[in-house]
A and B are shown apart, each in its own frame.
Chain A
Amino acid sequence: MIKRITVITGHYGSGKSTFAANYAIAAAAEGRKDVAVCDMDTVNPYFRTADLRDIFSENGVRLIAPMYAGTNLDTPILDYDIPSLYEEGLSMVIDMGGDDTGAYPLGKFGDFLKSHGQETDVLYVVNFRRYLTRDPADSAEIMRDIEKACGLGITGIVNNTNLGAETDRDIISEGAALAEELSRISGVPVFCNTVPTLCCRDVKVDKMFHVERLIADPFSK
C-alpha cells in the first residue's frame, strides 16, 4: 500500500526514476486518484522523471517538477515544497538524484518528514549488476552515505538487479539473495524485488514488483 510520502534514493543508474514511475503508475492503476511523482533530481539533467510527462498524464499520475526542468533555465532548484503538497492531499513518490549528493536536497524537509515518519517510506534502490554496487558491503556503504546526506533512515530496500534486456531468471534470483544479504548487514528490510516485464514476465520471486521499461531504445524505434 503506497504511503503518503515515498522517497526513492539510490546509487546513480540504479533505476530510481524507472522504479518511481512504475510505483506511482501501479498505485494509480489500483484506483488511487491522489498519486504524484516529484522530480527532485538536482544532479543529472539527463533522463529525469519530468521527461515522462506524457506517460504520467495517460496513467492518471500527477507530475510535480521544477517549472524550468528541461529548459534553458534548468538549474538545480526546487520551486515546490513537500509540506504544501502534503496539505493538498497528494500521495507523493519523490524521485531523488543519485548517491549522497543527490539525496542532500531532502534535508530541507527533514523535520517535516521525521514528524510524519509513520506515513513515510524511504526506499533505497539497488542493482547488484552495477559496477560499484556489486556486493552488499559496497551497497551498504552507499546506503549509509545517503542516510547521512539526507538525515533520514532508509526504511526499505528495493532490489532492482537487472542487466537490461539480458536479464534472466538467474540474475533475478541472484539479486534477491544479495538483497537479503544487504538486509542482514544493514538491518533494513527488503521492500520488494523488481522483475522487468521486458524479458522476465514469467519469473516468480518473493515480494515481486513488475517494472515496465518506460524509455524506448532509440535504435529500434
Chain B
Amino acid sequence: MKGNEALAEAAVRAGCKCYFGYPITPQTEISAYMAKRMPRCGGVFLQAESEIAAVNMVYGAAASGVRAMTSSSSPGISLKSEGISYIAGCDLPCVIVNVQRGGPGLGGIQPSQSDYYLATKAAGHGDFFMLVYAPSSVQEMADLASRAFDDADKYRMPAMILSDGLLGQMMEPVSFKDHENPPDNKEWACVGHKNKRPHNVINSLYLKPEELEASNIERFKKYDIVKKELHLAEEYLTEDADIIVTGYGAAARIARSAVNGARAEGIKAGLIRPITLWPFPEQAYAKAADTAKVFLDVEFSMGQMVDDIRLATSCRRPVRFFGRTGGVIPTTAEVLEQIRRIAKEELK
C-alpha cells in the first residue's frame, strides 16, 4: 500500500468515524481513500470547503466523543492552527495528519521535514502541546495512526502524525493488527442525555484570568504525566557508538543505511530514532551522551531538532547537523561522508 492509504485504513480500523479534509499534494490519497472507505463502514467522509472548515468539523465531532481525523500538508496545517489550538483548549482528542512538503510559503510538493517546530512547539496560539508521532515506514504509518487515536483518547489531547511526502507516497507491504473497539465511555462528551445528568460543557473561553490560568496549570500537570509515560525511540547500535547519528521519519532510514556503511568501515556509529517528537525521548539521548562523543542530526530541514538534542543531552556533547531542504532528499553517501569527516576531525 501507499503510506497515505495505510494510514487511512489504520484510522478506520482504530474506530475513526469522521474524516474531514481538503485536498493538497502530497496527502490527497488519504482523502481519496476515506471517500471510498468511510461510506462502507458507516462513517462520515466530508470534503470541507477549506482546511479551516475541516479542522473545525473535527472540533465538533470530537466534542461529541467520536473518533475524528483530518489530514493536510504543510501550508494546510498552518491554516488549521487556530482550530488545533481550540481543540487543545477544550481538551479534546483527535488526530491530525501532516504529510510534510517543502516550505515556507507555498513552497513545493516534494518531501520535507520543515514543520518540526510547528508540530512540537508552535501548533497554534496559547500554552499547549500535541502528541507528535514520527512514522518511518509504511507499516509505522499504520501502527502509529492506530496508536495516536488510543493515546489521544487516553490523555484527552490532539495528536499529530508528522509524516512527509516520501512516506505518504511510497509503497511498501503492510499488515494490520487487530484493534480493540474504542471505549465508549467518554463521560465528558456533549451528547443528548434527556436532562438525566448535568450539562457537559466543551469550551475554551475563560474571561476570568484566574480560571484560564487554573485550566492551563491543570493541563500542564497532565503534560507532566504524558512526558513520564510516553517517550518512544528506537536505538540501533548505540551501546558502543562514538558517533550517534539521529533523525526521525524518512531521514532516519537514510541515517540507518549510513550507520551501516560507517560500521563496515570500522567507524563506531549508532542511531537514535525518535518515534515520539512530543514528548521528545530525552532519556535515550541522555543515556547515549554518557558514552558517545558526538551527535550528528540528519533532517530534511535546516536543523529544527538540533536544540532538542542539545537540551536532552544538557549540551554535554557537540551536536553536528546535516540536512537538505526544499524537497531535496539527502543521500546515504552524503550522510556517510559527514560521519567520516566527524570521525576524522573529532574522534582522536
Contacts and interface: CB of A to CB of B under 8 A. Distances in A.
A163 B173 contact: yes
Interface stretch (A1-9, A180-188, A196-204, A213-221): A213-221
A132 B36 contact: yes
Given A219-B257, A220-B332, A45 B173 contact: no
A129 B2 CA distance: 12
B63 interface: no
A163 B171 CA distance: 9
A166 interface: yes
Interface in A136-177: 163-164, 166
A219 B253 contact: yes
A210 interface: no
B38 to A, nearest CB: 13
A13 B109 contact: no
Contacts of B172: 164
Interface in A116-133: 129-132
Contact of B171 (A44, A132, A164, A219): A164
Given A131-B5, A219-B257, A219-B332, A46 B173 contact: no
A130 B173 contact: no
Nearest to A166: B173
A221 B331 contact: yes
A47 interface: yes
A220 B257 contact: yes
Interface string A9-24: 0001100000000000
A44 B26 CA distance: 9
Q: Give the interface size class of chain B.
A: 20 to 34
A110 to B, nearest CB: 25
Contacts of A131: 1, 5, 9
A209 B181 CA distance: 45
Interface of B is mostly: helix
A175 to B, nearest CB: 14
Contact of A218 (B33, B36, B166, B256): B166
Given A46-B25, A218-B254, A221-B333, A130 B1 contact: yes
B124 interface: no
A45 B165 CA distance: 12
B329 interface: yes
Contact of A13 (B28, B171, B250): B171
B169 interface: yes
A45 B25 contact: yes
Nearest to A215: B170
A218 B331 contact: yes
Contacts of A45: 25, 109
Nearest to B257: A219
A87 to B, nearest CB: 35
Contacts of A46: 25-26, 109, 165, 169
A207 to B, nearest CB: 24
Interface string B217-260: 00000000000000000000000000000000010011011000
A219 B254 contact: yes
Q: Which of B1, B9, B33, B171 has the largest number of chain A CB atoms within 10 A?
A: B171
Contacts of A44: 25, 28
A172 to B, nearest CB: 15
A12 B2 CA distance: 10
Contacts of B33: 132
Interface in A32-71: 44-47
A221 B333 CA distance: 7
Nearest to B108: A72
Contacts of B169: 46-47
A163 B139 CA distance: 13
Nearest to A127: B171
Q: Which of B36, B109, B173 has the largest number of chain A CB atoms within 10 A?
A: B173
Contacts of B28: 44
Contacts of A220: 257, 332
B329 A218 contact: yes
Contacts of A218: 166, 250, 254, 329, 331
A220 B25 CA distance: 25
30 contacts: A12-B29, A13-B1, A13-B171, A44-B25, A44-B28, A45-B109, A46-B25, A46-B109, A46-B169, A129-B173, A130-B1, A131-B5, A131-B9, A132-B5, A132-B33, A132-B36, A164-B171, A166-B173, A218-B166, A218-B250, A218-B254, A218-B329, A218-B331, A219-B250, A219-B253, A219-B257, A219-B332, A220-B332, A221-B331, A221-B333
Q: Enumerate the 10 nearest inter-chain pairs by beta-carbon distance, A residue then B residue, closest first.
A: A219-B253, A221-B331, A46-B169, A163-B173, A218-B329, A131-B1, A166-B173, A219-B257, A13-B2, A221-B332
Given A44-B28, A218-B250, A219-B254, 10 more contacts: A13-B2, A45-B109, A46-B109, A46-B165, A47-B169, A131-B1, A166-B173, A218-B331, A219-B250, A221-B332
